[in-house]
Structure 1
């Protein structure tokens, strides 16, 4: 056993090239951008889809695909009557198309991966920009840049000089809280805040404003609304859900679709409206443990009663497109579920629009890859969202599969008919080109004052007052106010993910012209009322203030990057709590404004605050916060608190699944701290007692976490490779670069792996997740990384056992000495997680919980890989202070 004084060899330098892969292996939704891309192999996609079924079986015995009962799904009223003339046009256009042209209509590549000449040559039915993707790869692209690209793509699509096709293309974008990819656009509160407003009419206004700003840039199609009914708040997309209550989601879905598209009996898809997408079909808000792209094992009745209600609302409003979801239902990937996409959505619900896939979501179906997936088309997918260079082989393979009969001609004709139907309903064959449409180029509409006023009202109505002891709020304006906290003057942080960049990170206030931070709003209000304002992130001040408003909360994130395993705020790093306590200790009343994408356990922060406001992710109009916090100069309420929780607030850090019943009132045995519908109003008498600050962090109850036990455990995927590339392992015997791997029988069939390194350059074997995982429970639980290993030859060069959270966040230990002590024999090697933490590993965001890397030619076998709590002191390698 080694201790810290024994100086175990930490090997880092050689990992820079090989473990850069951990930051690149990212998967995402309909519009993501990782900054770097790695070509995804067919094997990788096949495995990534299979591991979710493994996880479902491991986590819940009822993981098998249930018997279907189609009668659960009602036949919905069809909002748009069949138009015989339009259908005749669809049939005529279809009859004149070649197979190649038809399949091209089903392809949706991304703007970074195609050129205008590609559009001219192939005539794609649609294309998209991912989150953080801009015309000409310029974040500061102007509205004119967006319009020019839209115009160029449109003109190329209708150019019939190459193949005789002149069907207009359409551009899709994620405008999920305003036109959030465009500099200067109006940014509304994220959906979780809008749910707290509980105002469908306001939602309709927001959607209409968004449609106008989108139309200014020549774009036809918006990938919104998200209608996930979130059931586990550990999910990184919780803030994209309006509520845990399907009733709100159903009503909001109808409102936002109508706002985006217009009313079916009125201004439907006129020049002021865009095509809407209800997403993600189906059950993404109910995955096990809130894992993004994971497995939903709800009963079929619950799938309808809870998760499908947004589609009941959205389809009733005439939504023209539906996006398939990454998640699985009882282990079957939704992109490949004929039952859900065709039998339920198209046949039972009567949906006659198009079904679009998610970001290479088809590639996650077992047996598929990004480049080839007949199963998705056969299941009912009409448009493949296919970013990266995979679009060309997918197009070619799909054509070949139709010719071979693997995909029927009838299925292709149905898909293309649906695409054409949507385009005809949207008037794309008659409308002018993007640069010549009525709203195109009217850049004064981007961030227009009237639009910002709607967003400001949305901020006001979204705020939820959780605590107001001694009725400290509303505040007078003629006082000395200290504004503190790192979110106070940070428009990017108050706007969250899906804001200019995919994750909402790497933004400055200068990236938001016309926007107002929360501090700026407070400053305007107080100075207008004769008071004084000091801004200090860390709470320092020159003159003692009458009150401190502290604005703090979660850093921006999107999708799986926001997945956590515990709802405690700032677990293990209570910086903001220290600030609150420091101010309180000086006798300064504290008003907390909490920025977050979900309800979190903040009992200590609540105790340290005189008043506490859940502000969610308010967007670009920060002055909406000060409108509510401060009274009029006369002392009267300026704007009242009206927001009510649309998500139950947790009573403990572990209470991530506590949801109101379908009646909107009842709970099970567990009760939340603040129930669904809670929200104080001004004048309401309430003094919140001191709350328990027990975070239940008892590592004695923490269970061993299997990473590899007979097989790889989800969500991890086994990879091998070297600095020239890597591949997911999907075969019992496989090679990549200088590394080969094969299965072997140690105790039972194929319960171990033999890894052969050829030497000459560093090779590795690694477990990798498509999104970082929160493993703080183990780093805080005195855990060790424990693995069974066997080396067949003496190690003369380092063999590094390590953990990584990205290319700049990794730690490794040379274990060659341990293996050399018993060559040819299985032995247990265990490493105190502190060894990795001391080298900079952040266990809140682990991509790779295990890798073995070496430059030596050697064969090493491994089996039984776990994170074992309460074992650090007895580990073979310990790093105690």
Structure 2
């Protein structure tokens, strides 16, 4: 998330130039970058799949019998949190989806059987009609981005950045096939994968969804993953056990300057030659759907860019599947709202992805525009023809009720041993050895090992975002019944070898161990909540570094296993460890780490390191754009770097200099006892403020209200939180009540209009415990706040006496579970 922009104009320009891939900064003023593509300058793709006359005839026959109401219905995909099966008896929509936080019965931990049961209900309603018009079954889309990651018990493979280090396209295909089979076990027939972004700025919160900054690596993988998910053209294409794939996010999502839903400032040549790499193989190998990006190209939203959606993708490349929008992304197209966006359809979007209560309005507005010619009959028929074509090719009409399909209900496929073996191999091959001074690795299987760190025995942390929950938060090891933590894998391997592994998260011990393995890294995040201002690892919490240094001071040889969704500046941590392994986000098979770190009884490793960096590793925390084709390329470790046991190398002491004044937490509004730069605290009425301690000295504020009063954060310049609101984020406040309230207490937000929500019920009990309240941003938006022009992101107010300590206020994803618009 980026709430504010702290960089200078010169820095922004430099980043934009780096992201665009230009070789140098010119002192001359360059011509404005155009957002209009020239399809004739793009290559024609040698598609492996060609149109089948029998399929086309079948589609034409259905189109002729469909009314305009039927056709418009096919253009809508609605989130299951916003629609019921009963609705589909009247509205014959094309698709449903489960968003990142959506699940059967609003239970993200619902067993697999509940997913299948719910799809049966939607399917039954969609095919229920007696008017003689064509029956077109609904299809269900899901973000199965590293396995069937919404389903408890599924195998979670390493996030894409890890497999990018493998350089193993054949294994990528096996990962896709296993993911498809586990997805099909729940009856779901469509996966929003693979992501084929070519990330150019590693501050982006979706960097881990990219295989590489090198377009050649992305191109080598995209087609293989599509074949794994869908099957091979001329072979097992869309046979039972395969599901529909969706290449995303078209186009240039990796070049937005580290900002999710941002703007890729790049020439058409860079867009074509760098960012389109994954489409050159993924489309050729038959991907049936493409998801346009939230982001823009040179100021124009991709969801509304006709020159690319129609001119390049459909006309020049010959893509004859359909395009599916991202989460309400059409609402960001100029002239559109979430409930009305003919311009996106006219540009080449075929199906809206919608979440919210207004989907019937979207249907009604689109129907009106189809009838009055705003959307031409030819464009409407083209979109519907594409959707029907995909459904025919996918076997939707013959598949029958989800629970009757060949793999449906075979829940033993979730976490099946064969799939876990594939995932474990992917973990082994993804590991990159950055440092191994004094040949600390491999570890003797007879040794006494202490395993420490917050990531050591935490499957959720090692799996990252998109793991049961959208943000990967609110989970425990019990949420992954078929998974294995990194410690569990090490402990099992050591026991088999005659040695011992002891878990001590804080690193304390009685008897000095032979070696310490410290597993640490980024806490889980997804999408824009992972956007960062710099590449410094954990700038506000240096406890992991302190742990490493404590082992170093005690003379304990130390191996660092680093969990991250991107390369990060970890020079201090590298200096404090004897060996350093970049494990990225390995998923549920933590035992794959032990396979490489620990030698057999013969003291020889069963598996050597084979992973090599698919992104360059920064030497400085400000090296956000670090791509080898750029001038001045100066990484700590270049793309392709990776040590092995057979190729030892000593790494010297690294520079730990950290520039002063860098921004550390761009998610925060109030942190460490102070309003974040760009805002100020305004106190009004009968209220007094003093400083108190929570974790550090004076890191919190105590507000003592003697009567009616308020405390507000006012921005020097209004902030835009529309994407955060659209992404279902919340206003989070960490607090402790010291004096019970005698009047109503509210949290408010101002943007043109002020809207408040009651929180009295949450702050009625004083005590020593710190608590957190989450108010969804949608509550303020629904009350009329202009989320694009927020001048006061938070106002804490009361009509009576109240004592309350506040340590943190931020805009972020709420913990799992329901989040209401206030507590009275």
TM-score range, shorter chain: 0.7 to 0.9
Q: Residue in 2 aligned with 1:389?
A: 357
1:555 corresponds, among 518, 523, 526, to: 523
Looking at structure 2, the residues matched to 193 and 625 of structure 1 have their Cα atoms a distance apart, in angstroms, of 12
Q: Residue in 1 aligned with 2:646?
A: 683
> Does residue 1:672 correspond to 2:597, yes or no?
no
Equivalences for residues 547-586 of structure 1 within 5 A: 547-586=515-554
- CA change 1:517–1:432 in 2 (3 A) is same
Shift of residue 285, structure 1, vs aligned partner: 0.5
2:713 corresponds, among 789, 796, 802, to: 802
Equivalences for residues 20-39 of structure 1 within 5 A: none
Equivalences for residues 466-477 of structure 1 within 5 A: 466-477=434-445
Q: Residue in 1 aligned with 2:45?
A: 76
2:89 corresponds, among 92, 102, 120, to: 120
> Does residue 1:379 correspond to 2:347, yes or no?
yes
Looking at structure 2, the residues matched to 96 and 261 of structure 1 have their Cα atoms a distance apart, in angstroms, of 29
Equivalences for residues 212-223 of structure 1 within 5 A: 212-223=181-192
Answer yes or no: is the 8 Å Cα contact 2:596–2:607 preserved in 1. Answer: yes
Instruction: Describe the superposition over 1:741-761 as per-residue Cα deviations: whole angstroms up to 9, x where unpaired.
Output: xxxxxxxxxxxxxxxxxxxxx
Shift of residue 132, structure 1, vs aligned partner: 2.9
Looking at structure 2, the residues matched to 852 and 679 of structure 1 have their Cα atoms a distance apart, in angstroms, of 47
> Does residue 1:257 correspond to 2:226, yes or no?
yes
1:407 corresponds, among 371, 375, 386, to: 375
Q: Residue in 2 aligned with 1:731?
A: none
Equivalences for residues 648-727 of structure 1 within 5 A: 648-661=616-629, 667-697=630-660
Shift of residue 137, structure 1, vs aligned partner: 1.6
Q: Aligned with 1:275: secondary structure?
A: coil
Answer yes or no: is the 8 Å Cα contact 1:560–1:772 preserved in 2. Answer: no
CA RMSD after TM alignment:
3.1
> Does residue 1:210 correspond to 2:184, yes or no?
no
Instruction: Describe the superposition over 1:607-645 as per-residue Cα deviations: whole angstroms up to 9, x where unpaired.
Output: 000000000000000000000000111111211100000
Looking at structure 2, the residues matched to 526 and 318 of structure 1 have their Cα atoms a distance apart, in angstroms, of 45
> Does residue 1:595 correspond to 2:550, yes or no?
no
Instruction: Describe the superposition over 1:289-309 as per-residue Cα deviations: whole angstroms up to 9, x where unpaired.
Output: x10000001100000111011
Shift of residue 162, structure 1, vs aligned partner: 6.2
> Does residue 1:509 correspond to 2:472, yes or no?
no
Looking at structure 2, the residues matched to 463 and 249 of structure 1 have their Cα atoms a distance apart, in angstroms, of 18
Q: Residue in 1 aligned with 2:721?
A: none
Answer yes or no: is the 8 Å Cα contact 2:431–2:583 preserved in 1. Answer: yes
Answer yes or no: is the 8 Å Cα contact 1:218–1:440 preserved in 2. Answer: yes
Instruction: Describe the superposition over 1:839-879 as per-residue Cα deviations: whole angstroms up to 9, x where unpaired.
Output: 9999xxx997854859899xxxxxxxxxxxxxxxxxxxxxx
Q: Aligned with 2:357: secondary structure?
A: helix
Answer yes or no: is the 8 Å Cα contact 2:37–2:308 preserved in 1. Answer: no
> Does residue 1:606 correspond to 2:517, yes or no?
no
Shift of residue 784, structure 1, vs aligned partner: 6.8
Q: Residue in 2 aligned with 1:104?
A: 73
Looking at structure 2, the residues matched to 147 and 852 of structure 1 have their Cα atoms a distance apart, in angstroms, of 41
Q: Residue in 2 aligned with 1:822?
A: none
- CA change 1:799–1:105 in 2 (3 A) is same
Q: Residue in 1 aligned with 2:240?
A: 271
Looking at structure 2, the residues matched to 361 and 697 of structure 1 have their Cα atoms a distance apart, in angstroms, of 38
Q: Residue in 1 aligned with 2:388?
A: 420
Q: What is the TM-score when the length of structure 2 is the normalising length?
A: 0.80
Residue segments in structure 2 that go unaligned for 5+ positions in a row = 3-11, 18-28, 684-706, 716-729, 737-769, 778-786, 800-824
- CA change 1:398–1:65 in 2 (3 A) is same
Shift of residue 470, structure 1, vs aligned partner: 1.1
Instruction: Describe the superposition over 1:425-454 as per-residue Cα deviations: whole angstroms up to 9, x where unpaired.
Output: 111112232111111111111110111000
Shift of residue 685, structure 1, vs aligned partner: 2.6
Instruction: Describe the superposition over 1:374-426 as per-residue Cα deviations: whole angstroms up to 9, x where unpaired.
Output: 11110111000011112110000000011121111111100000000001111
> Does residue 1:187 correspond to 2:153, yes or no?
no
Looking at structure 1, the residues matched to 605 and 793 of structure 2 have their Cα atoms a distance apart, in angstroms, of 59
Q: Residue in 1 aligned with 2:310?
A: 342
Structure with the larger RCO, 1 or 2 (CA within 8 Å, 6+ apart): 1
Looking at structure 2, the residues matched to 581 and 107 of structure 1 have their Cα atoms a distance apart, in angstroms, of 55
Instruction: Describe the superposition over 1:654-710 as per-residue Cα deviations: whole angstroms up to 9, x where unpaired.
Output: 00100122xxxxx521310000000000032311000000022256xx9xx9xxxxx
Looking at structure 2, the residues matched to 840 and 535 of structure 1 have their Cα atoms a distance apart, in angstroms, of 29
Looking at structure 1, the residues matched to 217 and 673 of structure 2 have their Cα atoms a distance apart, in angstroms, of 39
> Does residue 1:432 correspond to 2:400, yes or no?
yes
Q: Aligned with 1:673: secondary structure?
A: coil
2:421 corresponds, among 453, 456, 467, to: 453
Answer yes or no: is the 8 Å Cα contact 2:229–2:245 preserved in 1. Answer: yes
Looking at structure 1, the residues matched to 148 and 220 of structure 2 have their Cα atoms a distance apart, in angstroms, of 22
Looking at structure 2, the residues matched to 443 and 581 of structure 1 have their Cα atoms a distance apart, in angstroms, of 46
Shift of residue 169, structure 1, vs aligned partner: 1.1
Answer yes or no: is the 8 Å Cα contact 2:533–2:666 preserved in 1. Answer: no
- CA change 1:64–1:298 in 2 (3 A) is closer
Residue segments in structure 1 that go unaligned for 5+ positions in a row = 1-25, 28-54, 662-666, 706-770, 790-795, 812-838, 858-881
Q: Residue in 2 aligned with 1:365?
A: 333
- CA change 1:67–1:374 in 2 (3 A) is closer
Looking at structure 2, the residues matched to 503 and 487 of structure 1 have their Cα atoms a distance apart, in angstroms, of 16
- CA change 1:206–1:782 in 2 (3 A) is closer
Looking at structure 2, the residues matched to 774 and 650 of structure 1 have their Cα atoms a distance apart, in angstroms, of 25
Q: Aligned with 2:580: secondary structure?
A: strand
Looking at structure 1, the residues matched to 399 and 35 of structure 2 have their Cα atoms a distance apart, in angstroms, of 46
Q: Residue in 2 aligned with 1:861?
A: none
Answer yes or no: is the 8 Å Cα contact 1:525–1:626 preserved in 2. Answer: yes
Looking at structure 2, the residues matched to 311 and 100 of structure 1 have their Cα atoms a distance apart, in angstroms, of 33
Shift of residue 198, structure 1, vs aligned partner: 1.0
> Does residue 1:321 correspond to 2:289, yes or no?
yes
Answer yes or no: is the 8 Å Cα contact 1:159–1:165 preserved in 2. Answer: no
Q: Aligned with 1:570: secondary structure?
A: coil
Shift of residue 335, structure 1, vs aligned partner: 0.7
Answer yes or no: is the 8 Å Cα contact 1:595–1:615 preserved in 2. Answer: yes
Shift of residue 801, structure 1, vs aligned partner: 3.8
Shift of residue 474, structure 1, vs aligned partner: 0.4
- CA change 1:776–1:605 in 2 (3 A) is farther
Q: Which moved more, 1:145-154 or 1:848-857?
A: 848-857
Answer yes or no: is the 8 Å Cα contact 2:15–2:625 preserved in 1. Answer: no
Looking at structure 2, the residues matched to 809 and 673 of structure 1 have their Cα atoms a distance apart, in angstroms, of 38
Looking at structure 1, the residues matched to 15 and 165 of structure 2 have their Cα atoms a distance apart, in angstroms, of 36
Answer yes or no: is the 8 Å Cα contact 1:168–1:429 preserved in 2. Answer: yes
Instruction: Describe the superposition over 1:562-582 as per-residue Cα deviations: whole angstroms up to 9, x where unpaired.
Output: 000100111132110000001
Shift of residue 803, structure 1, vs aligned partner: 6.4
Shift of residue 65, structure 1, vs aligned partner: 3.2
Q: Aligned with 2:583: secondary structure?
A: strand
Instruction: Describe the superposition over 1:276-335 as per-residue Cα deviations: whole angstroms up to 9, x where unpaired.
Output: 0000001110002x1000000110000011101111110010000000100011111111
Q: Aligned with 2:245: secondary structure?
A: strand
Shift of residue 72, structure 1, vs aligned partner: 2.3
Shift of residue 121, structure 1, vs aligned partner: 1.3
Q: Residue in 2 aligned with 1:239?
A: 208
Number of aligned residues: 696
- CA change 1:570–1:780 in 2 (3 A) is farther
Shift of residue 165, structure 1, vs aligned partner: 4.1
Q: Aligned with 1:388: secondary structure?
A: coil
Answer yes or no: is the 8 Å Cα contact 1:158–1:165 preserved in 2. Answer: no
